[in-house]
């Protein structure tokens, strides 16, 4: 891998800032693209989202391929390795994880572990000189988020949080419509996302999950309110409850409802649940129109509807099928790495949501993160 | 008008309680229905809702007819009187209003005045021995609501607040579905209602309106959360804002967002606006299904959709056209009067909303009512 002069100079600056020359081998966009080499991904954690979505998304990508796996279950990992042509020596477990450092076929890791493990496995990846795409929520505490950001900065690796909606065409269109004034001045937003959780999931363990539905799915509504308005909440009010005393909610809350005020005066009122049927959606009310996405946050089948100031009716179903949201996410990260761009959904973006979730929990009388 | 023995005995009890024999001539349901006599309505205030909806609803009613009008505009009143065959001596203005007492053709009044006038004209009607159907919001202060309730109780007249949705078939079906457990345990609700108000309306005058969109249209969302859950909010958090500094919002707020927690733990998050495109709707998330009405709060064209625990998909458009919601409301009030039943949406119901609106304003840092 060769560095351009500009690339080299950037690395020198980062090294000077961080005090240590990063051990990664940076690729320039030109070099990578002309050589046809793909970004090598190491998948950390073989669960539903990685096996069912992110991994199937990579063969559809022009930029990435799976080159390594990390799992505590060797047999499961071997089956997946066979499917994606991952060589046996590139299967790691959580003890041997740090050895990814010496695997030249790994450029980036995709962290799809329980929330409480995001920080440790991001930091260890950074120390191994690998770029990190980490699932949301970024971590289970603000201090963990900061440690992740610092570790990646120090190692000179990119850190991106996997907010796939921010790379999804209909979400981008909704943002563009709002910014272009198509519905006038935004006044208010409703958004919600939740589901009825089965007992026994790690998501119900406070230590592993950090919190209840707000950490897991309510974060989509929260994040959407931020990218739809382009503002950061200035005031947050919230309630939280447990209704079903059936053993599922001994450690995390079942429901959260919150209302946010943005600096411009825009209000957003949201719900999330682990106890009910709550297909994710948002509805943005402008002075001269409305934009709705319903469903908004699932893997396919999204639907954008709008009534604009000039009388236009938009009724646009999602044309992308699962797992293309994940392909787009992976492609965007490759572009950031190759062209030394900061990811749109970087560590600071992930930290902002964790910080706001902490504020919501505090406002609802629960513990802070 | 004759009283049955039972009716007479009831009146006696009321008189004993209130210290004054009511001057109204009560009709029994049997007597009224067998005689074919209709309830005589005096319309107080000739504005959009009375001329455009309530009055056109009465000719479609089997129970009511318009027998008198009260307006400050004689010419407008005469035109309406001609349309509804109201005799000229039964046209009153606000000075001669108390003379309705001696008009035997008036059984009930319909108060469709600016909010701040609801109390005075309800109390004067009660003193004139007339039953009162008063538009929502009931009044602009809690003390006014109490005075209205007391005046009507003392006079032995019925007081109903015009919450038309509580008499609308699709709303009743939504309530029945929830109570029957069709969507399991309710967890969360979103509801919103608002519009982009034109300058110059009395609704923007704080003294006349009592407050902004929450008093006028947000009250539909608030009231819906209460009848859909069958519970009273135990905790309320709120934000309020003015975005458009264009002279409309010098006295009342432009937007309110609030989240309520009910005793069972159900959460409801709502918005209202006077600055945007916000078709009224509600969405109720149960543990095993969802019920949505969208639109929910306008005069016709409502649409109920649901997914129930047994896999049933409900997609039911409103079959009633405007002004039948008003006809149903008037018919229900006639039934209460003739059969001495307390209206479902009585003064206490109106007071509860005003008290909650006061709590929302207080939570948002605005003045209490």
What ipTM goes with this model? 0.90
Min Cα–Cα distance to chain A from B362, Å: 13
Within 8 A of A181 by CB-CB distance, chain B residues are none
How far apart are alpha carbons B225 and B232 in whole angstroms? Answer: 9
**A265–B260 C-beta distance less than 8 A:** no
B94, B77 Cβ separation under 8 angstroms: no
Structure confidence at residue B35 (pLDDT): 57
**Range scoring the smallest mean pLDDT among A41-50, B23-32, B297-306:** B23-32
Q: Give the mean pLDDT of A184-202.
A: 98
Average pLDDT over residues A92-100: 98
- Give the pLDDT confidence of B124-177 residue by residue, as tens digits: 999 999 999 999 999 999 999 999 999 999 999 999 999 999 999 999 999 999
The CATH class, in words, for B5-163+326-344 is alpha beta
Look up B110 and say whether it is catalytic: no
Query: pLDDT at position A206, please?
Result: 97
Name residues whose C-beta falls within 8 Å of residue A341's C-beta, 6 or more positions apart in sequence. Answer: A335
A136 assigned to active site: yes
What is the SS3 assignment for A232? Answer: coil
Q: Nearest chain B Cα to A186, which residue?
A: B276
Tell me how close the Cα of A304 comes to any Cα of chain B, in angstroms: 16
What pLDDT shows up at residue A20?
Answer: 38
CB atoms A185 and B243 under 8 Å? yes
The pLDDT tens digits of the residues spanning A110-123 come to 999 999 999 999 99
Question: What pLDDT score was predicted for residue A35?
Answer: 56
Q: Which residue has the tokens 């599922």?
A: A248
Q: Which residue would you say has higher pLDDT here, B21 or A348?
A: A348
Q: Is B113 in a helix, a strand, or coil?
A: coil
Q: Where are the domains of chain A?
A: 5-163+326-343, 169-319
Over residues B28-46, the pLDDT tens digits come to: 444 445 457 899 999 999 9
Residue A133: exposure state from Cβ atoms within 10 A (0-12, 13-18, ≥19): buried
The CA distance from A112 to A23, in Å, is 24
Q: For residue A4, is pLDDT > 80?
A: no
Q: Which fold has domain A169-319?
A: Dihydrodipicolinate Reductase; domain 2 (3.30.360)
CA end-to-end span of chain B = 41
Chain-centroid distance of CA A52 in Å reads 16
Residues of B in contact with A279 (CB under 8 A): 290
pLDDT at residue A220 tops 90: yes
| Residue of A237, A276, A290 lying closest to B188 (CB–CB) | A276
Residue A235: strand pairing partners: A261
- The reported pLDDT for the residue numbered B367 is 85
Q: Which residues, in sequence order, are bridge partners of residue B256? A: B240, B272
Mean pLDDT across A79-99:
98
Question: By the 8 A CB rule, do B148 and B127 touch?
Answer: no
Interval B67-112: pLDDT, tens: 999 999 999 999 999 999 999 999 999 999 999 999 999 999 999 9
Inter-residue contact A346 to A80 (CB < 8 Å): no
Q: How many CA atoms lie within 13 A of A125 on its CB side?
A: 32
Q: Residues A101, A131: contact at Cβ < 8 Å? A: no
Q: How confident is the model at residue A30 (pLDDT cuts 50, 70, 90)?
A: very low
pLDDT at B323 over 50: yes
In Å, how far are A242, B52, B165, B252, B350 from B355, measured between CA atoms?
Answer: 26, 29, 20, 18, 9
Rounded to a whole number of angstroms, the distance from the CA of A237 to the nearest CA of chain B is 6
Cα B108 off chain centre by:
15
Burial (CB < 10 A; 0-12, 13-18, 19+), residue A264, is middle
Its pTM stands at 0.90
E strand segments, chain B: 39-44, 64-70, 91-92, 108-111, 131-134, 159-161, 186-196, 235-241, 255-261, 267-273, 275-286, 289-293, 303-307, 313-317
Token code pair at residue A124: 């260890």
pLDDT of B206 strictly over 70: yes
Average pLDDT over residues B25-29: 43
Q: How far is A238 from chain B (nearest CA, A)?
A: 7
Beta pairing, strands B91-92 & B64-70: parallel
CB A93 within 8 A of CB A100: no
Look at residue B202 and tell me whether its pLDDT is greater than 70: yes
Question: Which stretches of A53-122 are assigned E, i.e. beta strand?
Answer: 64-70, 91-92, 108-111
Tens digits of per-residue pLDDT, B171-195?
Answer: 999 999 999 999 999 999 999 999 9
Query: What top-level class would CATH report for the domain A5-163+326-343?
Result: alpha beta
Q: Is A300 in contact with A169 (CB distance < 8 Å)?
A: no
Q: What integer pLDDT is reported at residue A69 of this predicted model?
A: 98
Residue A285's region, left for phi above 0, alpha for psi from -120 to 50, else beta, is: beta
Percent of chain A with pLDDT over 70: 90
Determine the residue among A195, A267, A286, A305 to mutate to test chain B binding: the one whose Cβ has the most chain B Cβ atoms within 10 Å: A267
- Are the CB atoms for A122 and A147 separated by under 8 Å? no
For B259, the closest of A259, A285, A286 (CB atoms) is: A259
pLDDT higher than threshold 50 for residue A28: no
Quickly state the pLDDT bin for A141 (edges 50, 70, 90). Answer: very high
pLDDT digits (tens, 9 = 90+) for A246-285: 999 999 999 999 999 999 999 999 999 999 999 999 999 9
- Within 8 A of B190 by CB-CB distance, chain A residues are 190, 192, 269, 271
Confidence of residue A367 (pLDDT cuts 50, 70, 90): confident
pLDDT of residue A29: 45
The pLDDT of residue A32 is above 70: no
Residues, chain B? 369
Q: Which letter, b or e, does each residue of A43-62 get, where b requires 16 or more Cβ atoms within 10 Å of its Cβ? A: bbbbeebbbebbbbbbeebe
Coil, strand or helix at B13? helix
Of all residues in chain B, the percent with pLDDT exceeding 90 is: 89
Closest by Cβ to B276, choosing from A187, A254, A272: A187
- Which of B189, B190, B239 lies nearest to residue A267, judging by beta carbons? B239
Residue identified by tokens 């306008």 is: B298
Are A184 and A261 contacting, i.e. CB atoms less than 8 angstroms apart? Answer: no
């Amino acid at each position: 891998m060769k560095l351009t002069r500009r690339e080299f100079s950037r690395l020198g600056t980062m090294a000077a800032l961080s005090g240590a020359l990063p051990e990664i081998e940076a690729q320039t966009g030109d070099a990578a693209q002309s050589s046809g080499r793909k970004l090598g991904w190491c998948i950390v954690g073989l669960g539903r989202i990685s096996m069912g979505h992110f991994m199937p998304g990579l063969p559809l990508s022009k930029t990435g391929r799976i080159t390594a796996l990390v799992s505590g279950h060797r047999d499961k990992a071997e089956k997946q390795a066979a499917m994606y042509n991952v060589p046996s020596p590139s299967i790691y477990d959580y003890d041997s994880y740090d050895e990814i450092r010496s695997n030249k076929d790994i450029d980036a890791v995709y962290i799809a572990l329980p929330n409480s493990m995001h920080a440790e496995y991001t930091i260890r990846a950074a120390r191994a000189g690998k770029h990190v795409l980490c699932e949301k929520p970024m971590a289970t505490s603000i201090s963990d988020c900061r440690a992740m950001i610092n570790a990646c900065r120090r190692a000179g690796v990119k850190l991106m949080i996997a907010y796939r909606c921010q790379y999804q065409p209909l979400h981008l269109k909704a943002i563009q419509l709002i910014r272009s004034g198509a519905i006038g001045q935004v006044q208010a937003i409703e958004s919600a996302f939740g589901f009825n959780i089965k007992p026994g999931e790690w998501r119900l363990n406070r230590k592993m999950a950090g919190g209840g539905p707000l950490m897991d799915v309510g974060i989509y509504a929260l994040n959407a309110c931020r990218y739809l308005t382009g503002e950061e909440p200035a005031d947050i009010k919230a309630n939280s409850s447990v209704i079903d005393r059936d053993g599922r909610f001994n450690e995390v809350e079942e429901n959260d409802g919150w209302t946010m005020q943005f600096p411009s005066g825009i209000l957003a009122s949201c719900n999330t649940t682990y106890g009910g049927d709550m297909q994710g959606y948002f509805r943005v009310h402008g002075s001269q129109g409305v934009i709705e996405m319903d469903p908004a946050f699932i893997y396919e089948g999204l639907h954008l509807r709008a009534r604009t100031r000039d009388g236009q009716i938009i009724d646009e179903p999602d044309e992308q099928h699962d797992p293309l949201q994940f392909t787009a996410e992976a492609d965007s990260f490759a572009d950031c790495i190759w062209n030394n761009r900061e990811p749109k959904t970087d560590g600071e973006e992930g930290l902002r949501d964790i910080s706001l979730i902490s504020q919501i929990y505090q406002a609802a009388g629960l513990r802070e993160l």
